[in-house]
Amino acid sequence: MKRYLTDRSHTFEETNVRVRPTIGNPEMRLVKLYPDVTYQSIAGFGAALTEASGYVFSQMTPDTQQEFLDLCFGANANNYSLCRLSIQSCDFSLVPRSYMEKRDESLRGFSIDDDWAYVLPLVKAAQTVKPSLEFIASPWSPPAWAKTNRTMKYGGRLKRNSYDIWARMIVETIAAYLA
């Protein structure tokens, strides 16, 4: 197996990693399929296209970007068909970010402009390889002003008086991404 390391001292440094089987029950190394037992349908396979993944993608050379896209979304590779997008920021964002920095019932201050830095370029690049790519939009945290702990991190809950505005922000996010 190959591992790629990127940190302050390395950029996409490739190393080989030895894979060791787990010790214990030999059945743990088997994949068992029971086609007659159905629990749920599978909508697709893919990845999360986050601000962090978009940032790493932006640091790649154009050739490496294309290789990455082909390996993830190409018909002869992983052929990902479904990706998750975060509504606002998530735990894989560079900083906590809200689409609306202060409460505004009219949503005039709403903007996904920050997503154009890293998220949307990665989305558009993925769509060039897989135009039929589907997405799930997933909120990680409401804005700090809408939460009981007044921060997008460390728990807290959505305030009851913010249910409506948060729902409208989610709808606005989907509309903005579609546009």
| Domains of the chain in sequence order | 44-178 (3.20.20.80)
Give dist(CA 48, CA 60) in Å, integer.
Answer: 18
Tell me the per-residue pLDDT of 101-124, one tens digit each, with 9 for 90 and over.
999 999 999 999 999 999 999 999
Report pTM. 0.78
Mean of the per-residue pLDDT values for the chain?
92
At 37, the pLDDT band (50, 70, 90 cuts) reads: confident
Tokens read off for 36: 């007659």
Identity of the amino acid at 115? D
**For the chain, percent of residues with pLDDT exceeding 70:** 95
Question: What pLDDT is stored for residue 21 in this prediction?
Answer: 65
Residue identified by tokens 């029950």 is: 25
87 touches 160 (CB < 8 A): no
Question: What pLDDT is stored for residue 121 in this prediction?
Answer: 98
Give dist(CA 169, CA 29) in Å, integer.
Answer: 45
Tokens read off for 99: 């689409």
If residue 177 lies in a helix (H) or strand (E), which one and from where to where?
helix 163-178
